[in-house]
Structure 1
Amino acid sequence: MSDAVSLEAVQGPDEDEPESGEFDFDSHAALAKDEYEQLYPLYEEFSSAIESIISTCLSNSSISTHSITSRPKAPEGLQRKARKASPENPNSPRYGKPLQEITDLAGVRVITYFLNVVQDVEKVIQEQFEVLERIDKSEAFEKDRRLGYQSLHFLVRLKVNRCALPEYAKFSGLTAEIQVRTILQHAWAEIEHDIQYKAVYALPSQIRRRFMALAGALEIADREFQAIAKQDRQLREAALKSVADDKLTGVEITPDALKAYLDKEFGPDGRMSDYSYSWTVGLLKGLGFIYLNELDEFISEYHHGQVSRALHGSRQGQLTRLEDVLMVAAGNEYKLRHPWNRQDNEWFADLIDRRLEKALEKGYEVGAKKLPDRGRNASDG
């Protein structure tokens, strides 16, 4: 026996080397990381391509979302995952071929405002990609007795016809994970991940009850937000139809309803912004108007175009004409109730006084109408 062999026999194996028969998880994970780093730019492109396809399709279908983001898995994240042991055999890796078996190397996340939009997004995914697997996380959490709030995960590949295009050919055979969840589901997932509570049975009973109650409350909130959105859409559609049919009684003044009314009575004006209509609704509510029939009756005796030319010498924009008619009809009361009538806004009071004086000179009966008695609190009603 040589001296070297004798020395090894005395000292035993090197502590840095795995004992005979033990799997070297660190080397396995490091090798996977090195290989993945070479492919990282490809998966970065692939993630962006999936995001672009989804974004374009949702936009073309007029499906609104909160956000659509993409990312390739970080090499360090892959390394940590590749180092995991198999649940069945602690001396074997969970992923024998990490680059083939880890399926979220490319990831896309779609966050919606409402539950029903999750279904719309799923339909787009089913149409545009080859779906390898659909995972409902709420069902998985119930089965594994883990805390969690529902979301949908899809494992997808590009379809053959898309891979036939030159710009997509390099992504052939690659797999991406797409997560779809509402903004409330996303908030739950982020907070739950930060707290790092996973198993229900591992939690103190008081914490477990609070988690489960919160999950139920968020699910109810998601459904309520969807119901509110549906009712809002129905009310808007009904209001627009009423305006079109000249049935203004009981139609509440909202930005959509006001625009429809003014487009019909004053003529359309594409220069007006959504913000401008919203601000004008606030002004009208502050003046005491709640319903369109009240506004219509108040200004019906005045021709908006003639008033505008009398005060400015030319026909002004749609909303300016409305304010001019309101000012002439209400007179000084319009100035007193206007939100700009403040002590630090003397210029506004002077401006209104000059315009009212000009209206009188042009023969208008200023202040012939009395504003509704609701006053400044009308917006609360």
Structure 2
Amino acid sequence: MYINIEDFIRNNLMNYRRLTPMIISIIEGILRSNDIDFLSVTGRTKTKESIIGKQRRKEYKDFAKKFTDISGVRIITFLNSDVNSIEEIIKRTFEIDKENSLDRAGSLGTDRIGYRSVHYVCTLGEARAGIAEYSSLCDLKFEIQIRTVLQHAWAELAHDRSYKFGATLPPNLERQINLYSGLLELADKGFEEISNSIDSYAKEIAKSSPVELNDKVIDSITFVKFMTNFLTVNKIETKRKIDDESVSTCISELHEYGLNSVADLNSIISDDAIESLKQEIAPKSVIGIIRLLMLFHDIDRYFSRVNFSWGRIHKGTYDTLTRKYEDKKIQSILKDKNVEIVKPE
């Protein structure tokens, strides 16, 4: 039975508008449940005008089958390994139209490096047909596009007509475009290699004994390993988790203080400081613990070398410092540095 494009749109567009956010929600859920990092999952549903315009250009005889991208979702991730992982998840989650799906990387010639991306044409599949909210949508096709951040950057430049990167250009300009798009591809591979190296280093540090760790420089990975061991061995609990921001602050202050290796950090830790940290009045954040260790070791050195950004000191920390320094000395330094003593509420 013949159906014109207007009838097709009238009968189906509302369902496509329902479909797109559903796909986004499903994909975000499965990526998170599989612990896959991603920058964004976005979608769009073609407008009536866009569908009609495409039909005029393509003149599809069977547009009901040919329109596979009325609903489209784009997944932007960070590394090519993430793209590969997402591909496998997409294959398990949806029913794939292999004839219309495309690996853009395989279709580009060696002289047209362009951008690499993967396109899948899918349906929700028969498994969801029995679910009321999906029942009227299961036969609708949609497109999923997977790109890395750098692939996405190149694609946006190539398709933005104001930049004209996607135009047919003189050979010298074509060569330049291929050269720089190739550099983006190399950068993509480089980030992948760096990520793999970091993973290998992290595994090496995770297996390190305290003696082996002692020889390492202080970096984000060795610091977390050291701190985790330190808190566990000394049975010290923190109120806040060790996060990237606190780790970065700690490492910066340790380096300014003059501590560059784990051995250096171990050298300033005294039994008195550890005993103080076990008390309820002592600081319970990672930053507070590291600062107390430095202050307890040499308060003059800390305030003369470290570019600190805090203007308050907890009364518990102050009381801990009085176990080593005279009140008058501490008061004088804090006053000189405009640091206020804050009592617990």
Give me the TM-score of the superposition, normalised by structure 1.
0.74
| CA distance 1:78–1:307, change in 2 (3 Å) | closer
Matching residue of 2:262: 292
CA distance in 2, matches of 1:102, 1:286: 61
Structure 2 residues not aligned, in runs of 5+: 328-345
1:261-340 alignment, distance < 5 Å: 261-266=226-231, 267-274=236-243, 275-306=245-276, 314-319=281-286, 320-340=288-308
Matching residue of 1:117: 82
What is the SS of the residue equivalent to 2:283?
Answer: coil
Q: 1:76 aligns with which of 35, 42, 49?
A: 49
Paired residues of 1:308 and 1:315 also in contact (CA < 8 A): yes
Matching residue of 2:332: none
Once the two structures are TM-superposed, the CA of residue 307 in structure 1 deviates from its matched residue by 6.4
The CA RMSD over aligned residues, in Å, is: 3.0
| CA distance 1:32–1:279, change in 2 (3 Å) | same
| CA distance 1:241–1:151, change in 2 (3 Å) | same
Matched, 1:48 2:17: no
1:12-161 alignment, distance < 5 Å: 32-33=5-6, 35-85=8-58, 93=59, 95-133=60-98, 134-142=101-109, 148-161=114-127
Identity across the alignment (%): 26
1:213-252 alignment, distance < 5 Å: 213-242=179-208, 244-252=209-217
Once the two structures are TM-superposed, the CA of residue 234 in structure 1 deviates from its matched residue by 1.7
CA distance in 2, matches of 1:227, 1:166: 45
| CA distance 1:251–1:321, change in 2 (3 Å) | same
Matched, 1:194 2:164: no
CA distance in 2, matches of 1:356, 1:269: 19
| CA distance 1:273–1:44, change in 2 (3 Å) | farther
Paired residues of 1:67 and 1:111 also in contact (CA < 8 A): yes
Paired residues of 1:138 and 1:151 also in contact (CA < 8 A): yes
Paired residues of 1:58 and 1:121 also in contact (CA < 8 A): yes
CA distance in 2, matches of 1:130, 1:153: 14
Write the letter of the residue equivalent to 1:329: H
CA distance in 1, matches of 2:158, 2:150: 12
The count of residues paired between Structure 1 and Structure 2 equals 314
| CA distance 1:256–1:198, change in 2 (3 Å) | closer
Paired residues of 1:305 and 1:315 also in contact (CA < 8 A): no
CA distance in 2, matches of 1:40, 1:346: 59
Q: Which range moves more in the overlay, 42-51 or 186-195?
A: 42-51
| CA distance 1:158–1:272, change in 2 (3 Å) | closer
Paired residues of 2:44 and 2:73 also in contact (CA < 8 A): yes
Paired residues of 1:248 and 1:291 also in contact (CA < 8 A): no
Once the two structures are TM-superposed, the CA of residue 270 in structure 1 deviates from its matched residue by 4.6
Write the letter of the residue equivalent to 1:306: S
Structure 1 residues not aligned, in runs of 5+: 1-30, 86-92, 363-381
CA distance in 2, matches of 1:115, 1:41: 35
| CA distance 1:234–1:147, change in 2 (3 Å) | closer
What is the SS of the residue equivalent to 1:71?
Answer: strand
| CA distance 1:263–1:318, change in 2 (3 Å) | farther
